Amino acid sequence: MKKIWMTAAAVLVLGASLLTGAGAARSASAEEVAADCKAAYLMDDATGVQMYAKEETKRLPIASMCKIMTLLLAIEAADAGELSYSEEVVASERAAGMGGSQVFLGAGLSYTVDQLLKSIAVCSANDSCVAIAERLAGSEGAFCEEMNARAKQLGAENTLFANCTGLPKEPQYSCAKDVALMLRALIAHEKYHEYARIRLEDFSHPDGRTTQMTNTNKLLRAYGGCESGKTGFTNEAGFCLAACARRGEMRVISVVIGSPDSKTRFAAASTLFDYAFDRFVSETYLRAGEEIEEPVTVRGSATKEVAVRAQSALGALKRRGTEEQYTVVTQCERELRAPVAAGQEVGQALLMRDGVEVARTPLLAAADAPRYTWWEAYREGARMW
């Protein structure tokens, strides 16, 4: 079976082909959507397809939307077992001394990782960002190197981080498209949504103090289906917002950079969401982790067959009213020789549109199938004899 390897950029190009009339949508977007901001981007979460763009690759300051990457690295570290949400982190003098948005950490006091991440997601706490950065990388500077490396992995080509907070510092920039890519990676983690949907909560300090945290993402209340998001503001960046909203199975991501005031940024994001839900429909034909109908037979193992699952989802974004036929075709080995490891690639699932391949995902073995032990081989041989 022939394998096709694609870079992140190639996947995005391929994803764009899933949208009927994608080129027309891009050229007409300026007329169809009025977003009062310096730059904006609208993306379908499931397919990564661009639905609207305005100066999407222009390098601009993004203020506290920078914290999307800070949160992403921390939650990924927790998923990898490198960080525990219950672990206590001692706030350094530098972390406690950060200005701007903060929860007023006390230098030398201990806070749980869960507390710190929640304060970053809810009230954009700069002091908590630095405390997390120092815990994960030893210093904010070293953490920024990790932020930049992860951005490149995500295909964020116009992003450079100089700190983990988004406070003004040169050189530091990103763009609307890159912010969408970062938020897309973050919203794949349910832990982030647990934090981001909190509207009001008290932050308790070990010394008995309490700081009230208020979520600045007003779309949580004002826009039906808004799940989460990250605001940002500095005089340099203007008013910014990266948010996601869901209607049915369709989830979209909108990014707004450089609106003139807070009310305008929320209006711009709402307009982008309305445009997406009014004009497009997203359909999933194979879900991530879904088993295909037939298991794979295994020879040389006491485990006679293993289930096969899709590594990633296969879906398509279509303009409402268009008629297209999509089917999923599997290319899979029907028989394997032991040993087989869980997660081992055993085939591919292809999404076909009118007979033409538009996307694919690996098919993975769902369980281990080790070779016969000596006794199992003897018993099997005796049975066959």
User: What would the 3-class secondary structure string for the chain be?
Assistant: CCCCCCCHHHHHHHHHCCCCCHHHHHHHHHHHCCCCCCEEEEEECCCCCEEEEECCCCCECCHHHHHHHHHHHHHHHHHCCCCCCCCEEECCHHHHCCCCCCCCCCCCCEEEHHHHHHHHHHHCCHHHHHHHHHHHHCCHHHHHHHHHHHHHHCCCCCCECCCCCCCCCCCCEECHHHHHHHHHHHCCCHHHHHHHCCCEEEEECCCCCEEEEECCCCHHHHCCCEEEEEEEEECCCEEEEEEEEEECCEEEEEEEEEECCHHHHHHHHHHHHHHHHHHEEEEEEECCCCECCCCEEEECCCCCEECEEECCCEEEEEECCCCCCEEEEEEECCEEECCECCCCEEEEEEEEECCEEEEEEEEEECCCECCCCHHHHHHHHHHHC
247: its two tokens? 């209607």
Residue keyed to tokens 């005089």: 235
Tell me the one-letter amino acid at 174. Answer: S
Bridge-based pairing of strands 238-247 and 250-259 is antiparallel
Active site residue: 38, 54, 67, 177, which one?
67
Nearest to 219 by CA among 210, 228, 208, 209: 228
Active site residue 3: no
Active site residue 124: yes
CA-angle at 70, arms to 194 and 254, nearest 5°: 65
Looking at 29, 54, 64, 254, which residue is catalytic? 64
Count of CB atoms within 10 A of residue 4's CB?
10
Residue of 250, 361, 252, 365 lying closest to 312 (CA atoms): 361
Catalytic annotation present for 304: no
User: Comparing C-alpha atoms, which of 57, 121, 133 is closest to residue 89?
Assistant: 133
Which of 29, 101, 119, 124 does the annotation list as catalytic?
124
| Active site amino acids | 64, 67, 124
